[in-house]
């Protein structure tokens, strides 16, 4: 039996979410166990740790984790906790090392997690069995074309199974260029007082808020007053109307995709998009050859937001990769990485890095606008009456549009399909007794597909 | 590499009257910003102004750089006059809901040290700041750090030609940094 009535907390049929799911500390503790301790979570991109001894620290839920390339070049991940008393064995956020040494008593672990040295060992212990005290490993670590994920679940879907059809979309980023993807610069880290689910579904699905919540920024970005930034969403100047044709939101459970599908508007928010657009057009014939017409023409170069459940967003166009780490029910930490093709000319990478900084860095023109409402939605629910209320995501419900790629598509970027899908997956994962049941059943996915014939799915 | 390296502190101090003018100028600038007079603030910058804020890093003091894609010039602000103007314009659109009701700012500028600059008619000015922000019922955030400025003597008076803001917070605990330091 589930601890909570998930069919009431998230009512999929009526697209309602009870406000307590953003506030209740008990639900949050259950999320750490049911979601963050079982799902595949993004750890790192291999460009960040190319050489033996390279490591980064990250979080899986609230668990502090070290991701390290061993001397054997294999990538492993461990809880950042000394097996003697539990102090962290690494305080640096990234670097290159031969060992992780605890600052408490000096126990030292090699890059494959083995306990390699214990101060005064021979004098104080009788035949200490060091093999019993290796760092606690993340159960499985797998790599999808450079994206390294880990899960604490020993059993359950493989990474390829977990990603499922969303990999068809991810490949547009991962295979657009023969060198693949690269995350560059120093990641931005910002802590905001709100529940982690809100920034996730905002980034993967909420086209509706963009021209209103970010109205001030929209007036000044995307080459001043040309209106290009509004056109991306199909929204007319000053919210005068919306054209839902062209762009789509796609449900590829347990994940989501939205895309402008025009092959170029991903760069519309840039003040100086010329170099990037030139690069995109130069590459396009190659991308078409490699990934086919649909992906090469419609997805490549578009503003495309890929949401990997639970907390990873891969955003083409604005070109950043973002992780939302939970910090208790009432706070989250956003990590934002500029994302480029490894083979891009340095000048193009620079344009992208600058744009990420200017739009969604800690001082980004758009970034700061969302903090107030994530805080209010979360913390106003401390009021008993308020947390009985339900949020509603009914926009576009039941609207379908034919789409030749995998998944079920609904028209327009001003639509709440992706957000609904996120909460349905939340409900499914929270109520799944076994890790074997965290994915939607295959049959159910198939019946949700549009009546169009399903095209060939290329999963590399 | 750990924290972004500070430039070496020059040795040659300026005459007392210059030091006094610089302190007065920085106080004026802080007040203009506290009063949200962004057009007036932009007028205190040179056309070629550079305005940067590097990100402090929690890497080991003796970290080997290796070939990781991480690092490089991590910056939160990397601005020129046009992009600072863009930020100021955004504030003045009347459409920035998070500043309505307004965010109240108080800027304290202290530990001002003024040295003769490398280029003619410039001063290399070091200062510490505290930027206090208060908004809504009980949002209170203080940012404390230091700045390296290049001030230039112009026919219109002192102007800011370059500013580097060091904010020693790896994780920014503020909903936004849409402000000027």
Q: How far is A220 from chain B (nearest CA, A)?
A: 6
Asked whether residue A226 carries a pLDDT value surpassing 70, the answer given is no
Same domain, A206 and A139: no
Cross-chain Cβ contact B69/A45 below 8 Å: yes
Does residue A18 belong to any structural domain of this protein? no
Same domain, A124 and A232: no
Asked whether residue A458 carries a pLDDT value surpassing 70, the answer given is no
DSSP H or E segment with residue B88: helix B81-91
Does residue A83 belong to any structural domain of this protein? yes
For position A223, what pLDDT does the model report?
53
**pLDDT averaged over every residue in chain A:** 92
Same domain, A134 and A282: no
Residue A75: list chain B partners with CB under 8 A. none
Same domain, A69 and A113: yes
Coil/strand/helix, residue A310: coil
Over residues A411-435, mean pLDDT:
97
Domain termination site, one of A144, A174, A198: A144
Backbone angles phi, psi at A219, to 5 degrees: -70, -25
Cross-chain Cβ contact A333/B171 below 8 Å: yes
Give residue A1's pLDDT band: very low, low, confident or very high (50, 70, 90).
low
For position A243, what pLDDT does the model report?
84
For position A222, what pLDDT does the model report?
65
Asked whether residue A375 carries a pLDDT value surpassing 50, the answer given is yes
Over residues B155-178, mean pLDDT:
96
Does residue A1 belong to any structural domain of this protein? no
Same domain, A236 and A326: yes
Contacts of B165 (CB under 8 A, 6+ apart): B51, B52, B53, B77, B145, B147, B181
Coil/strand/helix, residue A192: strand
Same domain, A334 and A257: yes
Same domain, A196 and A341: yes
Does residue A233 belong to any structural domain of this protein? yes
Same domain, A49 and A192: no
Give the DSSP per-residue string, chain B. --SPPPPPPP--BPPHHHHHHHHHHHHHHHHHHHTT-HHHHHTTEEEEEEEEEEPP----TT---TT-SB-SS-EEEEE-HHHHHHHHHHHTTS--GGGSSPPEEEEEEEEEEEEE-SSTTEEEEEEEEEEEEEETTTEEEEEEEEEEEEEEEETTEEEEEEEEEE---SSB-SS---S--
Between CA B30 and CA B53 the distance in angstroms is: 17
Pairing state between β B157-166 and B45-54 = parallel
Asked whether residue A363 carries a pLDDT value surpassing 50, the answer given is yes
Tally Cβ neighbours within 10 Å of residue A199.
21
Same domain, A116 and A178: no
Cross-chain Cβ contact B70/A333 below 8 Å: no
Same domain, A391 and A269: yes
Of B55, B78, B83, the CB nearest to A186: B55
For position A442, what pLDDT does the model report?
75
Over residues A13-24, mean pLDDT:
98
What pTM, to 2 d.p., does this model score?
Answer: 0.94
Does residue A12 belong to any structural domain of this protein? no
Does residue A31 belong to any structural domain of this protein? no
**Residues A300-334: tens digit of each pLDDT:** 999 999 999 999 999 999 999 999 999 999 999 99
CATH number at residue A250: 3.90.380.10
Q: Is A305 a catalytic residue?
A: no
The count of domains in chain A is 2
Coil/strand/helix, residue B175: coil
Over residues A194-207, mean pLDDT:
97
Same domain, A398 and A427: yes
Q: Which residues are bridge partners to A56 per DSSP?
A: A67, A94
For position A146, what pLDDT does the model report?
97
Give residue A229's pLDDT band: very low, low, confident or very high (50, 70, 90).
low
Same domain, A180 and A98: no
Does residue A158 belong to any structural domain of this protein? no
Query: Which alpha helices (DSSP H) does A25-125 contain, by range?
Result: 25-31, 121-124
**Residues A112-124: tens digit of each pLDDT:** 999 999 999 999 9
**∠ CA A189-A214-A359 to the nearest 5 degrees?**
40
Over residues A38-49, mean pLDDT:
97
Asked whether residue B19 carries a pLDDT value surpassing 90, the answer given is yes
CATH number at residue A95: 2.102.10.10
Domain termination site, one of A144, A177, A209: A144
Between CA A260 and CA A243 the distance in angstroms is: 12
- What letter does residue A399 receive in the DSSP assignment? -
Selected residues 251-290 of chain A with any CB under 8 Å from a CB in chain B: 271
For position A270, what pLDDT does the model report?
85
For position A231, what pLDDT does the model report?
66
Question: Does residue A187 belong to the interface with chain B, where contact is any CB pair within 8 Å?
Answer: yes
Question: Does residue A191 belong to the interface with chain B, where contact is any CB pair within 8 Å?
Answer: yes
For position A454, what pLDDT does the model report?
37
Asked whether residue A225 carries a pLDDT value surpassing 60, the answer given is no
Q: Where are the beta strands (DSSP E) in A260-371?
A: 304-308, 312-316, 320-326, 332-341
Give residue A448's pLDDT band: very low, low, confident or very high (50, 70, 90).
very low
Domain of residue A136, residue span? 41-144
Asked whether residue A460 carries a pLDDT value surpassing 70, the answer given is no
Domain termination site, one of A144, A177, A203: A144
Asked whether residue A449 carries a pLDDT value surpassing 60, the answer given is no
**pLDDT averaged over every residue in chain B:** 93
Asked whether residue B175 carries a pLDDT value surpassing 80, the answer given is yes
Does residue A25 belong to any structural domain of this protein? no
């Amino acid at each position: 039996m589930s601890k909570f009535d998930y069919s009431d907390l998230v009512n999929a049929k009526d697209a309602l979410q009870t406000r307590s799911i953003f506030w209740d500390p008990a639900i949050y503790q259950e999320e750490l166990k049911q979601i963050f301790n079982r799902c595949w979570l993004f750890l790192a991109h291999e460009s960040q740790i190319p050489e033996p001894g390279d490591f980064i620290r990250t979080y899986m839920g609230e668990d502090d984790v070290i991701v390290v390339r061993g001397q054997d070049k294999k990538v492993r991940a461990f809880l950042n906790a000394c097996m003697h008393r539990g102090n962290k064995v690494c305080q640096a956020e990234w670097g290159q090392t031969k060992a992780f040494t605890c600052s408490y008593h000096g126990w030292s672990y090699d890059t494959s997690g083995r306990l390699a040295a214990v101060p005064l060992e021979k004098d104080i212990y009788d035949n200490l069995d060091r093999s019993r005290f290796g760092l606690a490993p993340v159960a499985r670590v797998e790599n999808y074309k450079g994206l390294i994920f880990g899960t604490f679940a020993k059993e359950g879907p493989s990474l390829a199974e977990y990603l499922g059809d969303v990999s068809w979309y991810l490949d547009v980023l991962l295979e657009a260029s023969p060198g693949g993807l690269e995350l560059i610069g120093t990641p931005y880290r910002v802590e905001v007082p709100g529940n982690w689910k809100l920034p996730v579904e905002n980034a993967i699905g909420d086209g509706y808020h963009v021209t209103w919540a970010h109205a001030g920024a929209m007036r000044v970005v995307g080459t001043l007053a040309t209106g290009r930034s509004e056109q991306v969403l199909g929204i007319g100047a000053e919210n005068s109307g919306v054209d839902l044709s062209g762009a789509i939101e796609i449900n590829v459970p347990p994940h989501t995709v939205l895309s402008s599908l025009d092959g170029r508007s991903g760069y519309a928010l840039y003040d100086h998009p010329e170099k990037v657009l030139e690069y995109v057009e130069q590459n396009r014939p190659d991308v078409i050859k490699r990934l086919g017409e649909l992906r090469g023409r419609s997805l490549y170069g578009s503003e495309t937001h890929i949401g990997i459940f639970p907390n990873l967003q891969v955003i083409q166009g604005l070109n950043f990769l973002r992780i939302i780490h939970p910090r208790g029910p009432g706070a989250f930490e956003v990590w934002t990485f500029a994302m480029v093709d490894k083979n891009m000319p340095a000048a193009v990478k620079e344009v992208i890095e600058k744009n990420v900084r200017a739009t969604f860095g800690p001082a980004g023109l758009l970034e700061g606008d969302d903090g107030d409402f994530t805080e209010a939605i979360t913390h106003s629910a401390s009021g008993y009456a308020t947390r009985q209320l339900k949020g509603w995501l009914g926009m576009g419900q039941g609207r379908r549009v034919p789409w030749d790629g995998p998944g079920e598509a609904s028209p327009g970027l001003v639509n709440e399909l992706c957000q609904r899908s996120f909460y349905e997956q939340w409900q499914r994962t929270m109520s799944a007794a076994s890790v074997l049941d965290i994915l939607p059943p295959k049959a159910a996915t198939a019946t949700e597909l549009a009546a169009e014939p399903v095209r060939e799915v290329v999963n590399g | 590499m750990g924290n972004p390296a500070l430039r070496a502190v020059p040795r040659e101090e300026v005459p007392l009257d210059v030091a006094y003018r610089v302190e007065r100028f920085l106080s004026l600038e802080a007040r203009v910003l506290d009063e949200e007079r962004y057009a007036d603030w932009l007028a205190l910058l040179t056309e070629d102004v550079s305005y940067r804020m590097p990100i402090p890093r929690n890497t080991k003091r003796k970290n080997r750089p290796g070939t990781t894609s991480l690092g490089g010039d991590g910056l939160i602000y990397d601005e020129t006059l046009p992009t600072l103007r863009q930020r100021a314009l955004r504030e003045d659109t009347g459409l920035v809901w998070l500043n309505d009701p307004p965010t109240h700012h108080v800027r304290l500028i202290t530990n001002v040290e003024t040295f003769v600059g490398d280029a003619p008619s410039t001063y290399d000015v070091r200062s510490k700041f505290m930027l206090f922000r208060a908004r809504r019922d009980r949002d209170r955030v203080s940012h404390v750090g230091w700045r390296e400025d290049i001030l230039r003597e112009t026919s219109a008076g002192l102007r800011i030609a370059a500013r580097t803001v060091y904010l020693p917070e790896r994780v920014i605990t503020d909903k936004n940094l849409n402000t000027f330091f």
